[in-house]
Structure 1
Amino acid sequence: MGLLRVGIVGLGNIARKAWLPVVATASQWEVAGAWSPNQQKAREVCAGYRIPCMGSLRELAAVCDAVFVHTSTASHYAVVSELLQAGVHVCVDKPLAESLSDAQRLVEMASLRKLTLMVGFNRRFAPLYRELKTHMDGAASLRIDKHRTDSVGPQDLRFTLLDDYLHVVDTALWLNGDRAHLQSGMLQTNDDGEMLFAEHHFACEHRQITTAMHRRAGSQRETVRLVTDGAVYEVNDMRDWQSEQGGIMTRRPVPGWQSTLAQRGFEGCARHFIECVSNQTAPETSGEQAILAQSLVDRLWREAMSE
């Protein structure tokens, strides 16, 4: 078997910043082409990376074994279902689909066709988060804060929960290693229904889990703090590691050789998808796994709407 033929759908901001630098420059697979609804922008981006620019999604699917999807959330179901029907393995940005029912249909479609369907939760592949996960045994509390400098609106509460807060909830569930029971929480919105602040408390056996996000905190910081029996660990922005044991504080410098995309898990996520397709193994962020976090976020939104 030759090199895996990989394609890219959607060439917007997130694709250009986070995925193209990884996917388009690797030698372990062949980039067969890319397609985006904005054909003018697609031709410009493809020319910069020397990637064939396809005229349609069908044309791209015909020359690919696996495809990374970076289109809008509203288009996920239509794009991913067409690729799966064409027999192509898919890695799609979160959330899997705009609605839970559509997400479930995609999972069933991939299962029926025995195709890999993975959701690109990059934080699960951030090296420091993966290391932190090894210290979860005996942990009493886990807290994740992901704040924004000034990002209130213009989208509504549901959009922000699915677009951004979903990362926080999924990372907490993954680090915990099990489903957690929602105990309490709050969602604050402005008069236009745009999210201002969210904080939720979950429990799993003897462990307390907290997720929080403020959309106008004056800070773009992401912090994970883990308190265990004998140690406290803290990771800031997926790059700074700090631990305290026996009153001794240890801080680790960021490896000079490690790129930002590797630190934030994009590189590991892309490679994991390709390995799963090549080896026919189940991805860590399968469609079924992605639905767990999306179901919980959907519940938070519905409960907020009913108040």
Structure 2
Amino acid sequence: MTKLRIGVVGLGGIAQKAWLPVLGAATDWTLQGAWSPTREKALRICESWRIPYASSLLDLARECDAVFVHTSTATHYQVVSELLNAGVHVCVDKPLAENVADAERLIELAARKKLTLMVGFNRRFAPRYQALKTQLGDVASLRMDKHRTDSVGPNDLRFTLLDDYLHVVDTALWLGGGRAQLQSGTLQTNEQGEMIYAEHHFAVEHLQITTSMHRRAGSQREWVQAVTDGVLYEVTDMREWREERGDGVLTRPVPGWQSTLEQRGFAGCARHFITCVENQTVPQTSGEQALLAQRIVEKLWREAMSE
């Protein structure tokens, strides 16, 4: 079978740290090339990874079957729509587009072109979170915290909600089954309109879900706590697993062979997208599924601006 030809658009920090190491190490597909509007910097990066640099976005599309997009959120609609119109399958960093209306247009375009369109919510593919999800049949309470040491500003509230808090909302709702409704919450900003703290409460039937983020907590810690009938689970930084029962506490070490990119879900996310393209199956984070958390986050922002 012919190997899938993969391209990369955008060669910034996230592409270099998370995606190129995964895509460049594979044997089941070919890393065909890359493109970024910053030509000189892009050429250096392509040389270090020994991949061809395309002279334009359309030139890259002509050489590829599928493309990973890691450009700024503001460019997502233009870049993704151009790739879809060129007949290329796309996996794009979250959020799908800068606003829900543009995201819906991209979903409709992909459906019309019969192409795979996936949003790269990497935490859904983190092995620890996937394992936790299988244990939550009788969960009563679920809480996810993702804090920052000192990351207040320089961007405004809307940017931070879409760039970072979106991960928390998406992961927590996915772990809880995806049907919870927003009940209440708080958003604290400074005088410049930059986010300081967010906490929100969701509910579905008997399940209560809380999401929380402080931008100056003195810690980079991320953890999920789930309370079920007889067991309390905690996963810290997508690595440490702890479960507490009446007869003691069980901790699970991270497998020695497992890389950080595997632990954080980037490797699993990339493989899932490529498998979906090869098998013509629907990705876990396509269409409305990918927009669930973004709709909520945009609602939080609109309500904060109207106060």
The aligned counterpart of 1:286 is 286
1:188-217 deviation line (CA, Å, top 9, x unaligned): 000000000000000010010000000000
The aligned counterpart of 1:3 is 3
The aligned counterpart of 2:42 is 42
Pairing 1:267–2:267 present: yes
1:17-56 deviation line (CA, Å, top 9, x unaligned): 0000001121100111000011111101110111000110
Distance in 2 of aligned mates of 1:287 and 1:298: 17
The aligned counterpart of 1:164 is 164
The aligned counterpart of 1:141 is 141
Tell me whether 288-297 or 57-66 shows the greater mean CA deviation.
288-297
- Which letter does structure 2 place at the counterpart of 1:66? A
Where do residues 1-307 of structure 1 align in structure 2 (5 Å cutoff)?
Answer: 1-307=1-307
- Pairs aligned (count): 307
Q: Which 4+ residue blocks in structure 1 deviate beyond 3 angstroms? A: none
Q: CA deviation at 1:288?
A: 2.0
Distance in 2 of aligned mates of 1:256 and 1:188: 40
Distance in 2 of aligned mates of 1:156 and 1:268: 31
The alignment partner of 2:63 has SS state of coil
Distance in 2 of aligned mates of 1:201 and 1:288: 21
Q: CA deviation at 1:181?
A: 1.3
The alignment partner of 2:199 has SS state of strand
Q: CA deviation at 1:135?
A: 1.2
Distance in 2 of aligned mates of 1:41 and 1:121: 27
Q: CA deviation at 1:287?
A: 2.8
Distance in 2 of aligned mates of 1:156 and 1:92: 22
Q: CA deviation at 1:68?
A: 0.2
The alignment partner of 1:294 has SS state of helix
Q: CA deviation at 1:254?
A: 1.4
- Which letter does structure 2 place at the counterpart of 1:65? D
Q: CA deviation at 1:232?
A: 0.2
The alignment partner of 2:219 has SS state of coil
**Percent of aligned positions with the same letter in both sequences?**
71
* RMSD of equivalent CA atoms: 0.6
1:106-160 deviation line (CA, Å, top 9, x unaligned): 0000000110000000000000000000111110000000000000000000000
Q: What TM-score results when the alignment is normalised by the length of structure 1? A: 0.99
Distance in 2 of aligned mates of 1:84 and 1:237: 35
Distance in 1 of aligned mates of 2:247 and 2:291: 41
The alignment partner of 1:270 has SS state of helix
Q: Which runs of 5 or more structure 2 residues have no equivalent in the other structure?
A: none
Distance in 1 of aligned mates of 2:173 and 2:117: 20
The alignment partner of 1:62 has SS state of helix
Q: Which runs of 5 or more structure 1 residues have no equivalent in the other structure?
A: none
Distance in 2 of aligned mates of 1:141 and 1:303: 26
The alignment partner of 2:188 has SS state of strand
Report if the CA contact (8 A) 1:230-1:245 is conserved. Answer: yes
Q: What TM-score results when the alignment is normalised by the length of structure 2? A: 0.99
Distance in 1 of aligned mates of 2:221 and 2:201: 20
Report if the CA contact (8 A) 1:96-1:287 is conserved. Answer: no
Distance in 1 of aligned mates of 2:305 and 2:204: 26
- Which letter does structure 2 place at the counterpart of 1:165? Y
- Which letter does structure 2 place at the counterpart of 1:184? S
